[in-house]
Chains A and B, each alone.
Chain A
Amino acid sequence: MALLVVCFSPSCLFSEVVNGRTNNAAANGFQWNMNLLPTNPGLTVSGVFHRYTITKDQADDATVSITNKHINGLSNIYEYVDIWDDLPGNTKVKFDPTPSLLGNLFGPGAITLDGEGQLSDVSVSYQYKYDTCYNPLNDSSCPGFDAAFLQYMLENLNNQPDVTDPLYDEIIQYQLDQQAEKKELEEAKANEEEEANQSFEDKFSLTGVAQKLTNPAEQQDIMRELMGVGSLDEYSKISITEIVKIVDVVEIKDVAEIKDNFRALRNLAQDKTHRKMVRLQYD
């Protein structure tokens, strides 16, 4: 049950081994290139299937060879030989299993007849297999993808992403995520600094409260702030055990002349004029 839960979760990682067989390599002639194999990394050839008909007299000698050059061109990576000396012709069908050979080592292939006779109805195909997660970077669902991707990023940290890179999208997304994360951190830091610089009056200011009151959540926050939850606790805990008498020491001494505060008088005059103007609208 636990296994089922794990495998149905979105983060279930898996790799798949794909087995397949190529089309007839000899469909267009007795020589062929190996571009008929898929290009998946880690692909191996596990066998070669062949079928051909040889027409010959029994007394004639003939040898049929099916070969693939090594990609370096120096030797054969695959070779299968049928000797038909003193044998009547027939149709030959065979699947020749091979030790797992890397597909990218296979060079051009051919079927050749040395001796007397004729080949017809030739079919050669390659049995192959590969792991879809041979390179974990192939798919984000592959086991080990995160570690491989991190390693890849570290190795290409200073390189501009190339649009031909199969991981181009992931790299761009990674960079965008990094930038977004950095921006969030900076904003969070700026908010913290702003809050630290806010004055006590700002914190308890009721400016804009009318708008906030329409929002129940805001209203609750305001009430919480007004009640000084947390911030006034230190004050409420204090108990005054000792009465301290503060003596008023202000002393007004006689001065020669006390000047009128003309600025205050001017303000009062302006206030009076203003009040008159206002009243004129109603009287």
Chain B
Amino acid sequence: MRILTPIIFLLSSACAWAVDSPISGDVSANCSIYTTTLGEYGNPNPYTLSTAAASGGVDPIVRVDIGAANYYKTKFTYPNSFSSSPSGVTDNLTFTGTVTVSSVSVAGMSVYETNKVSVANTVTYDHTLAGSSWHKITSQATYGSADNTALPAGSYTALVTISCIAK
């Protein structure tokens, strides 16, 4: 009886040398980007496309929602080329644009405009406060190298790229 007892124990126990025990968790989005106003080019003269209201266009507006202060930056890149255009566009295109903070949900966010960093066609904002900020983008394209050639007829599309970057 003394011998039998430990043998039974060894056979019945479910022992193992290594076990993977999962730990799950979710991270909710703390930086969200929404287009609140779709942009549209106006054609004030044969060689220009512009989103300015005075040119018959619409400036796109993008809202950035930040859930936690001081953890995110956003990078806005306004267009320097068309993503689609008629096949006859072969001459030089000159793009200009701006990105500005048009509205804020917290008064302190108004310094975002002062503190923004612009490099080429990219503008970076540091979101030091939680809340929403609205950013207006303008874009203008002029066709022709020297004598402002008329743009070929057709449909033109350009893209604004916005990305949220963890600091």
> Which residues does A use to contact B, with CB under 8 Å?
51, 58, 64, 82-84, 87-94
| A93 engages B132 (CB within 8 Å) | yes
Inter-chain contacts of A82 with B (CB < 8 A): 107
Pull 23 A–B residue pairs with CB atoms less than 8 Å apart, ordered by A.
A51-B103, A58-B114, A64-B107, A82-B107, A84-B107, A87-B108, A87-B110, A87-B111, A88-B111, A88-B113, A88-B114, A89-B110, A90-B103, A90-B104, A90-B107, A90-B110, A90-B113, A91-B102, A91-B104, A91-B134, A92-B107, A93-B103, A93-B134
Inter-chain contacts of B113 with A (CB < 8 A): 88, 90
| A87 engages B107 (CB within 8 Å) | yes
> Which residues does B use to contact A, with CB under 8 Å?
101-111, 113-114, 132, 134
Residue of B nearest to A89 (CB): B110
A94 to B111, CA, bound (A): 17
Inter-chain contacts of B105 with A (CB < 8 A): 92-94
Among B103, B110, B132, the residue within 8 A (CB) of A88 is B110
| A92 engages B111 (CB within 8 Å) | no
Inter-chain contacts of B101 with A (CB < 8 A): 90
- A271 CB to nearest chain B CB (Å): 115
Known: A90-B101, A91-B103, A93-B105. A84 touches B110 (CB 8 A): yes
- A210 CB to nearest chain B CB (Å): 90
User: Contacts A90-B104, A93-B104 given; 6 further ones with Cβ under 8 A?
Assistant: A83-B107, A87-B107, A90-B107, A91-B134, A93-B103, A93-B105
A90 to B131, CA, bound (A): 15
A92 to B133, CA, bound (A): 9
A88 to B115, CA, bound (A): 11
Ordered nearest first, which 8 A-B pairs have the shortest CB separation? A90-B110, A91-B103, A82-B107, A93-B103, A87-B110, A94-B105, A88-B110, A84-B107
A51 to B105, CA, bound (A): 9
Which has the most chain B C-beta neighbours within 10 Å: A87, A91, A93?
Answer: A93
Residue of A nearest to B134 (CB): A93
- B107 CB to nearest chain A CB (Å): 4
Residue of A nearest to B100 (CB): A90
A90 to B102, CA, bound (A): 7
A87 to B115, CA, bound (A): 11
- A166 CB to nearest chain B CB (Å): 42
Inter-chain contacts of B134 with A (CB < 8 A): 91, 93
Inter-chain contacts of A88 with B (CB < 8 A): 110-111, 113-114
- A84 CB to nearest chain B CB (Å): 5
A58 to B113, CA, bound (A): 12
Residue of A nearest to B112 (CB): A90
Which has the most chain B C-beta neighbours within 10 Å: A82, A83, A89, A90?
Answer: A90
